[in-house]
Chains A and B, each alone.
Chain A
């Protein structure tokens, strides 16, 4: 008997009892579908997070100087020197001084806004695009000019979307001139990349509670030089602090790698858990196949009396189990892909993984083979005389 005949026989037997076949496949369907859904969601999450970090620039390096365990300190000029002495791998540095504040225009007021003081180089480090006006300059920073650059969210809220350039706002009661508005990045929503206010850090230092700069943004010449740049910065900082706990240096590229690693592990773990339900599905197939062999004892006897070899009987049942597994796999894929699309309608990011589809399908076929083998072997071994007598 050919594989083709065995397959058509198997399909017939599966179609002959649709409800039972469906219940048999249910474990596989759920297993495959959940592998696909979970991997899709983790994938979607990963690419979302990665794109956020990508946005910040993969050559970005953040440095925190807490000064823990050391009584020394660095100032923005020291940091600038590090950049100048390592121009092969470093391009710019900007201090970052953030504080919370109330921001007011003549007509509106916003509470609890993060206000960030940076240097003129921040514009290049973060590749900011100015829609209107300009970013502040070296002179603005050294002269401690009361100027600021705002995101489109603030323009929308404080100036009803009218151009804010040249207008003035009050930050914690102090008057600032808006000299630039950034290009819209995230539909001007609250808390997004459009909800920002930048001042010269020299002024921000005066307005924050201790005036200390504890955070710096560096940019490496390019992503490939990030690692080298990180180690240069670390070396220089160690010279000052003599203590590794006093600072942390983190490259964005490294962070993205870490995120990818973590979510990769997550998705493997989740797929593994979902894989267990595939295994349970396999046991389901085996159960039903064993019942089916018993029910069909007489049929097996008849087939044997007509010349079916043990191999013929064996392949009939194995092919049936494989077909059940494969059919369950296909239904699971359909369900999984549909559900992965459906969750996006509820705002959950998902990205379908073809590897997950391929692996879970192969796995369900494999399960058909493994768990179909034992019942098939049992069927093939039946004694034809006893099988014919069975009722």
Chain B
């Protein structure tokens, strides 16, 4: 079975010569369908860089990246945008909802860029909101919701396009521990329903709740442990 995410010897190098920084230093990683992976590391270890490359927001300096069997490391901006639109669902620490748009409109966004008709779009967005339990909030604006609710909207937005992979960068980082836990539980539930999730965190207690923990340091993977018991 081909891996969903397949990073091969990825380097991301900032600067030149003396001041060169290897944010990713020859990283190779495979993530398969239905996995729930945590990428853990200290601040500055290269987690975000890794996620940006997996999420096609950024391209590696060298190395190959196959997403769902397609080589994306050499794609141009437009092609990358299409990949982000169809293959990836992002969940950010800061939710990243557009404040001027209603909850429903925010969830519709990826579908707009996919060129889906308005009625179809609304239907799918409502389904996604229903899954995160916010059906009754669709006409609210983000700032009318609590942090946990906003993060659930962003999860709904990530789910709406039904992408094969969901990338979550510190999704509980801005939440108190109780709501953080709820969001995490929700991600687990999503994974049980079959969605592949890659979660980035610096928090071991969160990482422990996933099925596989990949630890990185200075842009390299230092351990990769699969916890079958969780599956």
Q: Per a CB cutoff under 8 Å, which of B92, B100, B113 touches A307?
A: B113
Residues of B within 8 A of A310 (CB): 77-78, 81
Known A384-B57, A385-B52: A302·B98 in contact at CB below 8 Å: yes
Separation in Å of the B54 CB from the closest CB of chain A?
13
Q: Per a CB cutoff under 8 Å, which of A298, A306, A388 touches B113?
A: A306
Contact A299 B82 (CB under 8 A): no
CA distance A384 to B58 in the complex (A): 8
CA distance A304 to B82 in the complex (A): 10
Q: Pick the most buried of A306, A309, A311: most chain B CB atoms within 10 A of its CB.
A: A306
Residues of B within 8 A of A299 (CB): 98, 100
Separation in Å of the A331 CB from the closest CB of chain B?
23
Contact A303 B109 (CB under 8 A): yes
Contact A308 B57 (CB under 8 A): no
Residues facing B in A274-313 (CB within 8 A) are 298-299, 301-312
Separation in Å of the B226 CB from the closest CB of chain A?
29
**A348 close to B (CB within 8 Å):** no
Q: Per a CB cutoff under 8 Å, which of B58, B113, B157 touches A312?
A: B113
Binds A, one of B36-44, B83-91, B189-197: B83-91
Contact A1 B113 (CB under 8 A): yes
Separation in Å of the B177 CB from the closest CB of chain A?
25
**A362 close to B (CB within 8 Å):** no
Contact B78 A309 (CB under 8 A): yes
Contact A307 B110 (CB under 8 A): yes
CA distance A219 to B176 in the complex (A): 99
Q: Per a CB cutoff under 8 Å, which of B78, B82, B96, B112 touches A388?
A: B96
Contact A1 B58 (CB under 8 A): no
Contact digits for B146-165, partner A, Cβ 8 Å, 1 yes 0 no: 00000000000100010000
Residues of A within 8 A of B86 (CB): 307
For A, the interface residue count at a CB cutoff of 8 angstroms equals: 23
Residues of A within 8 A of B46 (CB): none
**A2 close to B (CB within 8 Å):** yes
Residues of B within 8 A of A308 (CB): 81, 85, 113
Q: In the complex, which residue of chain A has the Cβ closest to the Cβ of B118? A: A5
Q: Per a CB cutoff under 8 Å, which of B57, B82, B112, B157 touches A1?
A: B112
**A16 close to B (CB within 8 Å):** yes
Contact A305 B113 (CB under 8 A): no
Q: Per a CB cutoff under 8 Å, which of A1, A301, A302 touches B115?
A: A1
Separation in Å of the A239 CB from the closest CB of chain B?
83
Contact A311 B78 (CB under 8 A): yes
Contact B81 A5 (CB under 8 A): no
Q: In the complex, which residue of chain A has the Cβ closest to the Cβ of B105? A: A12
**B55 close to A (CB within 8 Å):** yes
Contact A306 B77 (CB under 8 A): no
Residues facing B in A335-391 (CB within 8 A) are 384-385, 388
CA distance A385 to B81 in the complex (A): 13
CA distance A13 to B101 in the complex (A): 10
Contact B112 A305 (CB under 8 A): no
Separation in Å of the B46 CB from the closest CB of chain A?
14
Q: In the complex, which residue of chain B has the Cβ closest to the Cβ of A313? A: B81
Q: Per a CB cutoff under 8 Å, which of B78, B100, B109 touches A306?
A: B109
Contact B82 A5 (CB under 8 A): no
Known A5-B112, A312-B113: A304·B58 in contact at CB below 8 Å: no
Residues of A within 8 A of B84 (CB): 304-307
Contact A385 B57 (CB under 8 A): yes
Residues facing A in B99-154 (CB within 8 A) are 100, 109-110, 112-115
CA distance A311 to B113 in the complex (A): 11
Q: In the complex, which residue of chain A has the Cβ closest to the Cβ of B109? A: A306
Contact B52 A306 (CB under 8 A): no
CA distance A307 to B110 in the complex (A): 6
Separation in Å of the B39 CB from the closest CB of chain A?
17
Separation in Å of the B189 CB from the closest CB of chain A?
23
Residues of A within 8 A of B97 (CB): 302
Q: In the complex, which residue of chain A has the Cβ closest to the Cβ of B86? A: A307
CA distance A5 to B109 in the complex (A): 11
Q: In the complex, which residue of chain B has the Cβ closest to the Cβ of A312? A: B113
Contact B100 A309 (CB under 8 A): no
Separation in Å of the B86 CB from the closest CB of chain A?
7
Q: In the complex, which residue of chain B has the Cβ closest to the Cβ of A16? A: B100
Q: In the complex, which residue of chain A has the Cβ closest to the Cβ of B117? A: A2
CA distance A305 to B106 in the complex (A): 13
Contact digits for B40-84, partner A, Cβ 8 Å, 1 yes 0 no: 000000000000100101100000000000000000011001101
Q: Per a CB cutoff under 8 Å, which of B55, B58, B82, B90 touches A309?
A: B82
Q: 20 additional contacts, CB 8 Å, given A302-B96, A306-B113, A307-B114? A: A1-B113, A2-B115, A16-B100, A299-B98, A299-B100, A301-B96, A302-B98, A303-B98, A304-B81, A306-B90, A306-B109, A306-B110, A306-B157, A308-B113, A309-B78, A310-B78, A310-B81, A312-B81, A312-B113, A388-B96
6 contacts between A and B (CB under 8 A): A302-B96, A302-B97, A305-B90, A307-B86, A309-B78, A310-B77
Question: Which 3 pairs show the lowest CB-CB distances between chains A and B?
Answer: A307-B85, A309-B81, A307-B113
Give chain B's interface residues, CB within 8 Å of chain A: 52, 55, 57-58, 77-78, 81-82, 84-86, 90, 92, 96-98, 100, 109-110, 112-115, 157, 161
